[in-house]
Structure 1
Amino acid sequence: MSTQDSPHASGPHRPRREQHPPKGPNPLRRTSDRVEAWYSRLLLLVLALGLPVASVSAGLAAYESTMRTVQAQSAQRHQITARVTSAPEAAPGSASDEKQTVRVSWTGKDGRQETGTARVPLDKTVGSTVRIWVDREETVQEPPMPAGNATATGWLTGGLTALGVFAGFVAGRKGVRLALDRRRYAQWDAEWDLVEPLWSARFHG
């Protein structure tokens, strides 16, 4: 048998396969690291499930509450025609879409003459007719709230609720991290108090 065929022949060895570290938990991972990781996952789960539920619920509640106000005002107020009885003189250069407070009068449901004050455009002078809103007691009121306000209120409330939930998530995550960091620093200080005398003795011994 030749030396080339001998299993003990000298020569370069075959490269060994690269040894990978064993799979499993990281030995350098501390208990506080595992607590932080699990807590972060829990917060993410709460955020994913709670944010849409909270924002939709708050938005719908605000929408329904505002719609009840809209419906109540629409039921209690009605529009009538009144006549301007006294009005201040419009200032020169005033915009046409500005409002002025004037005295108005109208005939109530019982036939009696009613009076009050109302906000009307500047182009309305004494003797002009205006459309105003009054309640069941013939008291001048603002126009009923439009239904679009309920939709806008619902969206705004839902959006603010979503921001609040997200802010709570961020604050909770940072709070836990700060608490765990304080504990880690305390452990490091305690360990250093034990190691530092031995470490210093190696250089001064």
Structure 2
Amino acid sequence: MPTGSTRNNPLRRPSDRLQWWLGRVLLTIVVVGLPTASASAGVLSYRAQLHTGQVQSTTRHSVTAQLTADAAMPSSNQSTGKVPATAAWAGSDGTTRTTTVQVWPGEKAGTPVAVWVDARDTVTSAPVTRGQASAAGWTAAAVTATSVPLLCLAAWKGSVHVLDRHRFAQWDAEWSQVEPHWSKRLPN
């Protein structure tokens, strides 16, 4: 069993020590930083989406529109999902507004549908819900949980590549000095 520490090994080059320390730093980043980064990204995304939803809730409202015609029935080669239909509602200024909505096939004219509009009666999307904010938070956490190890792996591979190129260049330079003493060359 060796009595000396491998850290004090005289054959260990500075590039070997650098590679050893870099590996420990990157491993620490993955072990400690990954949970921290994932949780932070998830929470920040969740809070940002909640804030967006709150702002949207103050600037948007739902109006009840009625279909102006029966919704089309899908042909035999179409899917059985929702189909576009025209709906109308009275705007805040009393004028009739229309938009295209997605409804189930066969809905009858006059069927009420919810339409989200802003202060200018422009059709917009519904405000972000808690569920959507939660999904955005989980997605951000998952992307971060995948990205941190991949970035650390890329940093490790890249640094080892650079260090190996440096070591190979050193070996070539040293060998060019030693090799003439070890081998006999034929004169030209």
Band the TM-score falls in, shorter-chain normalisation: 0.7 to 0.9
CA contact (8 A) 1:96 1:123 kept: no
The amino acid across from 2:99 in the alignment is T
Asked whether 1:48 is paired with 2:9, we answer no
Equivalent position of 2:159 in the other structure:
176
Asked whether 1:102 is paired with 2:86, we answer yes
Between Structure 1 and Structure 2, whose CA radius of gyration is higher?
A: 1
Q: What whole-Å deviation, never above 9, does each CA across 1:43-78 have from its counterpart, x for those lacking one? A: 222333322222222222211111112222333333
Distance change in 2, residues 1:125/1:138 (3 Å): same
Equivalent position of 2:40 in the other structure:
57
Choose which of 89, 99, 104 in structure 2 pairs with 1:117: 99
In structure 2, C-alpha distance between the alignment counterparts of 1:134 and 1:56, rounded to whole Å: 35
- How far the C-alpha of 1:84 sits from its partner, in A, is 2.4
The amino acid across from 2:59 in the alignment is Q
In structure 1, C-alpha distance between the alignment counterparts of 2:116 and 2:2, rounded to whole Å: 81
- How far the C-alpha of 1:91 sits from its partner, in A, is 4.1
- How far the C-alpha of 1:149 sits from its partner, in A, is 1.1
SS in 1 for 2:127: coil
The amino acid across from 1:157 in the alignment is A
Aligned-residue RMSD, C-alpha: 2.9
Paired positions, count: 183
TM-score by length of 2: 0.79
Write the mapping of 1:133-152 to structure 2, written as runs, cut at 5 A: 133-152=116-135
SS in 1 for 2:144: helix
The amino acid across from 1:59 in the alignment is G
In structure 1, C-alpha distance between the alignment counterparts of 2:145 and 2:49, rounded to whole Å: 20
SS in 2 for 1:80: strand
In structure 1, C-alpha distance between the alignment counterparts of 2:179 and 2:75, rounded to whole Å: 86
Q: What whole-Å deviation, never above 9, does each CA across 1:146-181 have from its counterpart, x for those lacking one? A: 221111111111221232222221122122211221
- How far the C-alpha of 1:134 sits from its partner, in A, is 3.0
Segments of 5+ residues of structure 1 without an aligned counterpart are: 1-19
Equivalent position of 2:17 in the other structure:
34
CA contact (8 A) 1:85 1:105 kept: no
Distance change in 2, residues 1:174/1:82 (3 Å): closer
